[in-house]
Structure 1
């Protein structure tokens, strides 16, 4: 084993949010590290601002509310690595911190859990659908199904409970989260990205470490998946160039596929008005090695079409019909 990993018997402290989903995700990372390299790990719970506040995510700015406390614990030396849902991470670099690994991505699509096993299209007009995401609300409104949209917060179990208790007719959430906690079979529909593009980075995890921690960087590098990293790099480039946070009505999905001359990166993105009445949709392809540039150029073309004006509508206080 290399000199960097010579202290393999030292426990690697894995920083995680305390929710069931977060601990499960972080546990998967910890178990993968131990299985691949024999390095012992322990989970360290960290409470974030997003966990404490009951305010709608969009009103808190969205970006970084689940991330900053974990990063502070990392920089303070309280943990050796931090595991995040990648879609929660701001696109701007964090001083002193590096994205050490992006493991293989789970299914990035959105899922529906509805009463009586219904799909979105089967819900009667006026049915109540819960989601805390402006991206989902805008795309739902664009479908023109006449649904009444409700703000939704809480962990996965709490959200599902609102359907089981009859408080809501349906909820929409990431299929990846359901899968990771063993509840994927409760989804009554998995939405085609042609209907609803997921959030940039959805379904992927991010493993961060301190920039000067060679041991942690070397250990976590074993988990990095090149195709997943290229895809999410392109998606996050769209956000960065649009200057949009994770609370903006922006969807993007990229994948690496085999082409005639080798691997090729494909990406689709959408920016919507809050009420779904206007949408700018674009797609692009290119070399996975230039993933950021592919996403950035796609975003630039969307800005040329007026994407900034659509996002400014959100900050002016407009919201889709039926949204509290």
Structure 2
């Protein structure tokens, strides 16, 4: 296929970590293979890469996104690739979410010493995570584990297990798969035990909103089912963020029903210590994915999720 944007090489902005560059190279290869466009990766340093304080103290997951978006708006890059769970739910001026390609397995995974599962770890074992959502759900399981706050890229976190600093870590299975370390997983967690972050396992491809030609090109990379699931999950998060600062997990799937595709979604909001949880599910039409998620969040707020904010 000949390049349809002319001779220019599309500059794909990425964070410099191994996982980020692997994900961005995957998208760059997809652009070249499916659209016939030459690409080149451009590394961009974000605050989340340089500031080692807990994410909640420096602005949450959005700290990984801002610098890439600024590079887009300056014209330093043409495309930005993010882990979709890192995107703030509020729209960004001048930025378009052009496509969500096919999604990896969204579940969380355990990498523990001696090949153990969570249930096999002795009480008092140290489990590392940087996620309040994971920490709350680990506490809710009632296994007597000590949750230890950690930061760092995937390789750094896995090394903490190998060095004995912690007995296990909980990570996104998708990230381990993308960097070729999924064989180290000792347990993939059932969503009944731990619901993933909204958008986990999916990638976001962004470009400038006023670049209509590129937006149209990138739109052809969209996976319809993946976009519906993440739109529903992010709608839950957006609605709960407005009235609840509690850790939130959500997972949607599109399944074939008697009358066509159906969207199913489960979500949970928890007290930080896991002592209280509001867990609900809903279904609806994938074409109204955001609406399904928003209505589910409304039910959760009405059922007490809003009160969890006062207990954080």
- TM class by shorter-chain length? over 0.9
Aligned match for 2:239, one of 210, 226, 241 = 241
Query: 235-244 or 287-296, which moves further after superposition?
Result: 235-244
2:244 and 2:305 in contact (8 A); partners too: no
In structure 2, relative to structure 1, the CA distance for the partners of 1:112 and 1:200 (3 Å cut) is: same
Equivalence for 2:112: 114
Aligned match for 1:99, one of 88, 97, 110 = 97
Equivalence for 2:218: 220
* Cα-to-partner distance string for 1:155-188 (whole Å, 9 max, x where unaligned): 1110000000111100000000000000001000
Equivalence for 2:230: 232
SS at match of 2:81: strand
TM-score (norm: length of structure 2): 0.97
For 1:296-315, list aligned pairs within 5 A: 296-314=294-312
Alpha-carbon separation, structure 1, partners of 2:10 and 2:306? 43
1:244 offset after TM fit, Å?
6.0
Equivalence for 1:80: 78
Q: Are 2:168 and 1:155 aligned?
A: no
In structure 2, relative to structure 1, the CA distance for the partners of 1:34 and 1:245 (3 Å cut) is: farther
* Cα-to-partner distance string for 1:181-210 (whole Å, 9 max, x where unaligned): 000010000000000000000000000000
For 1:253-272, list aligned pairs within 5 A: 253-272=251-270
Equivalence for 1:322: none
Alpha-carbon separation, structure 1, partners of 2:50 and 2:127? 24
SS at match of 2:70: helix
Equivalence for 1:290: 288
Which structure 1 segments of 5+ residues have no match?
Answer: 315-324
Q: How many equivalent residue pairs?
A: 312
Alpha-carbon separation, structure 2, partners of 1:70 and 1:256? 30
Equivalence for 1:62: 60
For 1:158-173, list aligned pairs within 5 A: 158-173=156-171
Equivalence for 1:132: 130
Q: Are 2:189 and 1:191 aligned?
A: yes
TM-score (norm: length of structure 1): 0.94
1:220 offset after TM fit, Å?
1.4
SS at match of 1:196: coil
1:22 offset after TM fit, Å?
0.1
In structure 2, relative to structure 1, the CA distance for the partners of 1:244 and 1:66 (3 Å cut) is: farther
Which structure 2 segments of 5+ residues have no match?
Answer: none
1:128 and 1:169 in contact (8 A); partners too: yes
SS at match of 1:163: helix
